[in-house]
């Protein structure tokens, strides 16, 4: 079983330019927190019941880049508007920083991810039936 998903951990919306970084503010990743909790409970239950055993868990950041704030906002409206909250003040600040550091500016968002690998446990009873 593979558990690969973004975590509901707030993150910074950054403008990067010439090797430097300025934050436009925090992006609220909490709308999916109930799903995160439900998945964590489900995985814990199958481990407690002896159906699966955990092999490894890793956490990493998935980085998204956009050439413009406008491009980032188009992706946001199309893909993430129900899962992520970007306040107007953060969007305004992103535009401001982007204009300030043009033409070298890019937009960056780091998404905190979880990758957990588990293996099904076969009991003698299950193996005998196979």
pLDDT of residue 125: 52
| Alpha-helical segments (H) within the chain | 33-48, 69-75, 88-101, 124-129
- The tens digit of pLDDT for each residue in 33-74 reads 888 899 889 888 888 888 899 999 999 999 999 999 999 999
pLDDT of residue 128: 44
Look up the pTM and report it.
0.80
Confidence of residue 124 (pLDDT cuts 50, 70, 90): low
Domain edges within the chain: 2-129
In the 3-class helix/strand/coil scheme, how is 14-45 assigned residue by residue? EEEECCEEEEEEEEECHHHHHHHHHHHHHHHH
Q: What is the mean pLDDT of the chain?
A: 91
Residues in contact with 65: Cβ distance below 8 Å, sequence separation at least 6, in sequence order: 106, 107, 108
Contacts of 72-80 with CB under 8 Å at 24 or more apart are: 72/13, 72/107, 72/109
């Amino acid at each position: 079983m593979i558990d690969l998903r973004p975590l509901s951990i707030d993150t910074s919306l950054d403008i990067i330019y010439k090797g430097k970084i300025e934050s436009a503010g925090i992006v609220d990743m909490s709308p999916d927190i109930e799903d995160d909790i439900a998945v964590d409970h489900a995985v814990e239950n199958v481990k407690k019941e002896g159906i699966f055993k955990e092999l490894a868990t890793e956490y990493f950041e998935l980085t998204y880049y956009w050439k413009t704030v406008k491009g980032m906002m188009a992706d946001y409206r199309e893909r993430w508007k129900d899962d992520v909250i970007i306040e107007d003040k953060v969007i305004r600040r992103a535009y401001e920083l982007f204009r300030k550091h043009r033409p070298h500016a890019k937009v960056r968002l780091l998404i905190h991810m979880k990758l957990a690998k588990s293996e099904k446990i076969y009991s003698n009873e299950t193996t005998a039936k196979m």
